Amino acid sequence: MATHHKPPTFTAVTPYLTTTGADDLIAFLQQVFGAQLVDRHTDESGRVAHATVRIDDAVLEVSEANDTWKAMPLALHVYVPDVDATYKRAIDAGARSTMEPKLHDYGERGGGVQDRWGNHWFLATYVGQPGDKGGS
């Protein structure tokens, strides 16, 4: 029996993307964020019943929408090493710009995109609070 209440690499809260075209969404995550496919399970028709992907230190779960679980877009805030490069990869992968990257007064350079599944991605690189010598 497991000694922990969650898998070793998961946090207590894990975003779950239920979508139409789950395999294509996983490919988008790999292209834009360098996501690693951790596992992929299919139903009897070969569609994604459950998949786990890792982006940096975060885990996302993905599945194909069905009669019970309808497609439901999410909004996600993702920290990346280079927001401008990530934003460009997202646009190149077919996402629509919702905000070009810019410096925000709360210590981030960030911008946003919406993917073709309706998910909103706020992409950001932490640059430090004004006057914070730890930021760049």
Given 20, 37, 72, which residue is the final one in a domain?
Answer: 72
User: Would you write out the chain's pLDDT as a tens digit for each of its 136 residues?
Assistant: 667 898 888 889 999 999 999 999 999 999 999 999 999 999 999 999 999 999 999 999 999 999 999 999 999 999 999 999 999 999 999 999 999 999 999 999 999 999 999 999 999 999 997 656 544 4
pLDDT in the model for residue 49: 98
Q: Are residues 88 and 60 in the same domain?
A: no
Residue 101 three-state SS: strand
Asked if residue 21 lies in contact with residue 117, where contact means CB atoms within 8 angstroms, the answer is yes
21 domain-assigned: yes
- Model confidence, pTM: 0.90
Number of domains in the chain: 2
CATH number at residue 22: 3.30.720.120
- Residue-number span of the structural domain to which 18 is assigned: 11-72
